[in-house]
Amino acid sequence: MAFAKSTMRLATGFSSQLYGQTGLGGRSAYHPTSVAVFGAGGFLGRYTCNELGNMGVSTNIPNRGCELELRHLRPMFDLGQSKFVFYSPRDDESIRNALRGCDTVVNLIGKNYETRALVPKEGFPFVNYVTNFSFEETHVDVPRRIAEIAKEEGGEWERYIYYIFGNRS
């Protein structure tokens, strides 16, 4: 019964009025807001993107790895509503490119371990682990850099949402 009521709300356009959408609502609606979601491939990122896709929000999804790592996010959006942008947290110009055309920034970047990379070396064991992104860089430097660049870009920034990741009990 609850499913039928929610479907009826979508068909009557009730939910589209709730979010300020044009159209019948849902994934095929148009929402005037544009959002950049950093960390969309993580645990909270997939659910955030799903809700944005349900509202019909145009979303930039910056990714620092392969585009195929985020392929599970594509069905959450209607055609043309998601834009996958490559960026490097250490490159200001790529962050500017990821923020281009967005009203809101959502930062969900966080790890409970330091990322490491294998680097070749002379002699046995021929490889060495090097820290790629430390805790401080992931949780302090990168969010600060994103916020500063968003502020520099100016424009009509409505919100900067930053979720502080922490596995605390």
In this structure, what CATH number is given to the domain that contains residue 47?
A: 3.40.50.720
Burial label for 166, CB within 10 Å (0-12, 13-18, 19+), is exposed
**What are the contacts of 67-76 at 24+ separation with CB within 8 A?**
69/41, 70/40, 70/41, 72/46, 73/40, 73/41, 73/46, 73/49, 76/27, 76/46, 76/49, 76/50, 76/52
In a domain, residue 4? The reply is no
In a domain, residue 11? The reply is no
In a domain, residue 64? The reply is yes
Secondary structure E strands in 99-143? 104-107, 115-120, 127-133
In a domain, residue 12? The reply is no
In a domain, residue 69? The reply is yes
pLDDT in tens, the chain (169 residues): 343 334 334 433 434 444 455 665 666 777 788 899 999 988 889 999 999 988 888 999 999 888 888 888 888 888 888 999 999 999 999 999 999 888 889 999 888 888 888 888 888 888 888 888 888 888 889 989 998 888 887 766 667 877 876 654 3
The domain of 97 spans: 19-162
In a domain, residue 10? The reply is no
In a domain, residue 168? The reply is no
Entry pTM: 0.76
Token representation of residue 53? 């896709």
The domain tally of the chain equals: 1
In a domain, residue 3? The reply is no
